[in-house]
Structure 1
Amino acid sequence: MRTLARSAVAVVTATAFAATAACAPPEDKNSGGGSGGTAAAGATSAADLGGMDALVAEAKKEGQLNVIALPPDWANYGEIIKAFGTKYGVKVNSAQPDASSQDEINAADQLKGQDKAPDVFDLGGAVASANTAKFAPYKVATWAEVPAALKDPNGAWTNDYGGYMAIGYDSAKVPAPASVTDLLKPEYKGKVALNGDPTQAGAAFSGVVMTSLGNGGSADDIAPGVEFFKKLKAAGNFLPVDPTPATIESGQTPVVIDWDYLNVAQAKKTASWKTVVPAGAVVGSYYVQAISKNAPHPAAARLWQEFLFSDEGQNLWLKGGARPVRAEAMESAGTIDKAAYGTLPKTEGTPVFQTEAQTTKAKEYLTANWAKAVG
């Protein structure tokens, strides 16, 4: 599972950004000859360069792409990076996969003007919304198929992949929970873990929102979620351990509240691991893609975006258990990987995407009440 640094608190907004990301300064790589001063640096679409063939040609001339904070086992990024490099003959320099969104922005600032600076960003909402001046507007060929609420109207940023908060559980050790409140039952004593501290980690934050929805709360009121964890602790069911693949495989954390794509991925290592999205408690979150306006390889950066939002790129995320942002359009067009899509946990109820104002209010409530209620 992704590190907590990668999961800084930031839930998707219905009108602004999405959940979390990461990065740190990349290693010193040999230059591929790219330059932020090329025509590609000002291109807001492939058409500005003469079409996709021209964009591909420019990217191949640059020869390299600098990505940062992309764990290979996170949403299938390892295969995505390999597929892009193989398809276009562009070397992908992937720097320090585990870090924070702010580290990513810091790297862009510190390495500005250097060939090793990050070309693209994969960010969480809080950091992304504070750094839009660093983004280069660009609309991919499939941009119209991304829901309006999940992209900047001028193309400065676009949500790409994400998922829903879920309950992962070892079916060989505990019964299947039918609802959030089921976790209060004796069968789950000492078995329920939350991925992180909700005052610091995005996954844990959204876990509290999910439990709030499952206990009569709303996007505007997460108090029932905090109260739920207070009861969970009082019942002896809350396990104050940060879950990892190792703790799951060893049986230390047989129930984990985390994003569905992370829980689904665990089934590859633990055959009895199942995932459920509680009915009526569906909390959604998507990540943000953006191009650095100071990208040393501007054509490769734009080609990378085209690949990520193409059917091929979206299906590769789906293969990793993440929900691609174009899923609905691809399903209608018959281009989605139906087998992979069918493995995702079913959802029942309208997904909740907190607004920035709701997220801020919830964070303030957690800061004031979480420690008192749960410790």
Structure 2
Amino acid sequence: MKISKKTSIFLITALLGTTLVGCSSQSSAGTSDNWNTIVKKAKKEGKVKSVGMPDTWANWVGTWNDIKSKFGISHTDTDMSSAQELQNFKKIGKSSSAADLGDIGINVGPTAVKQNLLTAYKTQYWDKIPSWAKDKKGYYAAGYTGTIAFITDTKNVSTKDAPTSWKDLASGKYKVSVGDVTTGAQSQYAVLAAAYANGGNEKNIMPGIKYFAKLQKANRLSSVDSSVENLKKGETQVSIVWDFNALNYSNLINEKGRYKITIPSDGSVMSGYAEVINKNAAHPYAAKLARSYILSKEGQINLAKGYARPIRTDIKIPASIKSKLLPDKDYKKIYHVKSNETWNKTTIKLAQLWQSDVLGSK
């Protein structure tokens, strides 16, 4: 996922010498293995392979480093979109390149469940996750949220022309990068955000399709991917990305004042990314351990360091970290998908609509 894609354990004092809230003697909900067993077997596996969870997306590197130092479990990742992750999970066999763990847009969760690709696992933190952000049976659970934002490169677009709303964006003269709507969750939510700002929702995506079709007819849609590398090289003008990606990219490039980041004032969408375990994982216990750590206090703060907003609202984010996020007042008109099942069905149609009604609209 994520530069190109799309970026918790209750520690047992006897094992790690640190105090985290935990329940090492209890069975982890959704699995027959207790926490001690998961830790022991995960350490024996010694590695975990992920897809869509690269170091630079939402500070995944912080979590992978923690898991390596605390448990001796090494990590590798291949960056890809949510749809590509599901295809990866279908690979089976010892020589397979299938991953153990992935991070998918929560709207893709129902498809993964229907295709029988996932292992159900409710971590120790299951009750801390809001109902909208998890599957009742434990097949997926969001670890963090993102909100669709604009990031303007003021080397290419003047600060006064940087859009602060979808209305502004529509009347601009600059190129707009939205990514691959046919496969990427971030790009699909960008279309949903435009739809919401223009009277639509997950049941009615056409206002968003029509919005982008107008940009395409005006030759304003850019095919340049909104990666940190492309932003740094100045190959983008205005990009539509998750707020945490916009903030993280700006921080990585580290050119003060170069980027203007805004949540569109006339409407945006907030959603989550869910960490899922491959049913055929080669390292299932390491995957369970990783999913648990992501939802721990430490894992959630790691995500906040990567500018993502943790799914757990019971955790207090240190002021030094929170101050680097966009202010709460910027999130005034935010839509939250009411039915992931409905949105999932819409995204399946979205690829065809994008090809026919947007890219084919010239």
Q: Which moved more, 1:225-234 or 1:59-68?
A: 225-234
Of 281, 288, 299, the residue aligned with 1:302 is 288
Displacement after TM superposition at 1:105 (Å): 4.3
1:335-368 Cα distance to aligned partner (Å, 9 max, x none): 3233323332331124232633245346164454
Give the Cα–Cα distance (whole angstroms) in 1 for the partners of residues 96 and 212 of structure 2: 48
Q: Please tell me whether the aligned partners of residues 66 and 120 of structure 1 are also in contact (alpha carbons under 8 angstroms).
A: yes
1:173-226 Cα distance to aligned partner (Å, 9 max, x none): 3324332111244xx42x232222434443333222222222343333333333
Instruction: Map 1:103-182; keep pairs closer than 5 Å.
Output: 103-112=84-93, 118-125=99-106, 128-132=109-113, 133-171=116-154, 173-175=158-160, 176-182=162-168
Q: Which residue of 2 aligns with 1:205?
A: 188
Aligned residue identity for 2:238: V
Aligned residue identity for 1:87: K
Unaligned runs of 5+ in 1: 8-20, 22-42
Give the Cα–Cα distance (whole angstroms) in 2 for the partners of residues 197 and 105 of structure 1: 16
Displacement after TM superposition at 1:241 (Å): 3.5
Q: Which residue of 1 aligns with 2:267?
A: 281
1:62-112 Cα distance to aligned partner (Å, 9 max, x none): 3333333422111111222111111122233x14x2234455445444344
Per the normalisation by structure 2, the TM-score is: 0.78
Q: Which residue of 2 aligns with 1:315?
A: 301
Q: How many residue pairs end up in the alignment?
A: 328
Of 311, 314, 321, the residue aligned with 1:329 is 314
Percent identity, aligned pairs only, is 27
Unaligned runs of 5+ in 2: 8-26
Q: Which residue of 1 aligns with 2:241?
A: 258
1:343 corresponds to 2:329: no
Give the Cα–Cα distance (whole angstroms) in 1 for the partners of residues 323 and 204 of structure 2: 33
Q: Which residue of 1 aligns with 2:23?
A: none
1:303-341 Cα distance to aligned partner (Å, 9 max, x none): 111111101001111111222211x222xxxx3233323
Q: Which residue of 2 aligns with 1:369?
A: 357
Q: Specify whether residues 224 and 137 from structure 1 end up closer, same or farther in structure 2 by C-alpha distance, changes over 3 A only.
A: closer
Residue 329 of structure 1 aligns to a residue in which SS?
coil
1:355 corresponds to 2:340: yes
Give me the CA root mean square deviation.
Answer: 3.1
Residue 293 of structure 1 aligns to a residue in which SS?
coil
Q: Which moved more, 1:172-181 or 1:257-266?
A: 172-181
Per the normalisation by structure 1, the TM-score is: 0.75
Residue 351 of structure 1 aligns to a residue in which SS?
strand
Q: Please tell me whether the aligned partners of residues 192 and 253 of structure 1 are also in contact (alpha carbons under 8 angstroms).
A: yes
Instruction: Map 1:35-50; keep pairs closer than 5 Å.
Output: 44-45=28-29, 48-50=32-34
Displacement after TM superposition at 1:167 (Å): 0.7
Q: Specify whether residues 61 and 279 from structure 1 end up closer, same or farther in structure 2 by C-alpha distance, changes over 3 A only.
A: same
Give the Cα–Cα distance (whole angstroms) in 2 for the partners of residues 55 and 117 of structure 1: 21
